[in-house]
Chain A
Amino acid sequence: MRSIRAAAVGAVTLSLALAATACGGGSATGGGSNDSPKTLTYWASNQGASIEADKKVLRPELDKFEQRTGIKVELEVVPWSDLLNRILTATTSGQGPDVLNIGNTWSASLQATGALLPWDEKNFAAIGGRDRFAETALGSTGAQGKDPAAVPLYSMAYALYYNKKIFAEAGVSKPPATWAELVEAGKKIKAKGKSPLGAEGSNLSENIHHVFVFAKQHGADFFTADGKPDFTNPKVVDAVKSYVGLMAEDKVIPAGDAEYAQNQSVSDFAKGKQAMLLWQTASANLKSQGMSQDAYGIAPVPVISGAPGAGTQVNSPVMGINMAVFKNTDNLDGAKEFVKFMTSDEEQKILNKAYSAIPPVKSAQADPAFAAPDTAVLKNTLATSAAALPQVPSESQFETTVGTAVKELFADAAAGRPVTAGSVEAKLRKAQQQMPAA
């Protein structure tokens, strides 16, 4: 009987404890505070070859920050596959990091949630002023006319990576500057039994980056000037058809790449199975896969005709990582201090070198390390021929719906079904209908 009594008491206690915890929690949606000035939580995106590699790069810098300010930074490197979901969850629950990295293309979408600290003049002044940053990089920090939702941290651009040995064997003397030249080179390379160009047909973001550039080159945009989706615009249809056509008609992208989504095309290139790769800042990645730097060359991404530039000569999206502060942080001043540290000239040089990226901070770009031939191509692209992806709140839905449409078109091409203007238009129409009414 005594034990039954004990069990009953235990049961009641447990119930009360459960009820108490259920009532606890709740979301903190208020503004920021300075309640815990000695610690910061930082979510870094995965920039290097692995999570561990990133920790090795970042830890010494965070220790340096702690020595100078006494603020301890807890680091978590979040893989790309999880990052956006984690940010959404943090936004919904109010339980998130103080400072975090975001893909710069998400800026406008995340800005719309209102969870990120807006960088107005006052906040910019706290980190040294807005004009320290390159204007192209600032173009991908949120919707036009609003205070940026984040500040640029690393800048990246697409380039054409080519295998020098395969090019020499196939008798291709210089990297192709136009798509027609690329297709021509592809034929020679195929004759030697290698695959010409790689793609990640099932990776929605990669698809978006490429069709965005193709659309620019065809003189079209996926969104109208007032931010409405315009996917079925004949020029957009033509652009998407041309990109998928690299597999469907020109056969320079092998059919197998239609199911790639885990950077298999980078491995194919690093292993010397494939002659060309269109990728953003691939050097660090290729090095980690054992490809030596003198085995490949870097050239600007081809255009339809002429040389890369503005307008229809755009050959890369402005890629990059932005750094944002969660509005409800409990260490607002510390968070800004940390952003200031990470965007200082010294840290910009160290970190961008480690990740083979270009510093968005103008004064750091002058470092000779960023004038090496490989980074020079990226730097030049960013400065002269890169354009920001649409800065609209529905950008992340656009990536999903149009990215999926391109994935399905690649699947058609791989299965040997024709990819026509009609079939492209049908997929894009479906994608547009799935977009939220703005």
Chain B
Amino acid sequence: MTSDLIVFLVLSLIAIASALGMLFSKNAVYSALFLVLNFITVAVFYLLLGAPFIAMAQITVYAGAVMVLFLFVIMLLGAESLAPSQALPWQKPLAFTLALVLVVEAVYIILSRAQLTAAVASPDASLNSMDSLREMAMMLFNNYLLPFEVTSILLLVAMVGAIVLAKQEKVGLK
């Protein structure tokens, strides 16, 4: 158990450091790279909690697909370093207020529901097996079928929208 704790602490440090690095990098590409590091750390957290499927999905979807697209856009637009004077005046106080609310809320939940951590600390051993995947699929396609379908329609609409926006008008091309 102590080795798990050590791993957890080291990973937490990496996660926090990479999140801070993402926020304070001047260059957008470095920000994106720090975010990738953060995503991978979070995936290792999932592994520690005994959820390999979610860990691998996290890496594939977020670190692999989404962030590569981010990098792609940053590089394509040449937006590595924007001028720093574009911040809106009311942004900073609002961000600090919201962050404070979030911290207070998180502390309250951790203190008031200490039994939550006990449930997390002892992951079910059966989660590691293929059965858990099967159960997850059963849940997804039986109990939560409607939300799943709604999400896929949402994504489809977004995709169609992107294609419509990107489509070039063919003018006088015979």
Query: Does A pair with B?
Result: no
Which residues of B come within 8 Å of A, CB atoms?
none
Chain A interface residues (CB < 8 Å from chain B): none
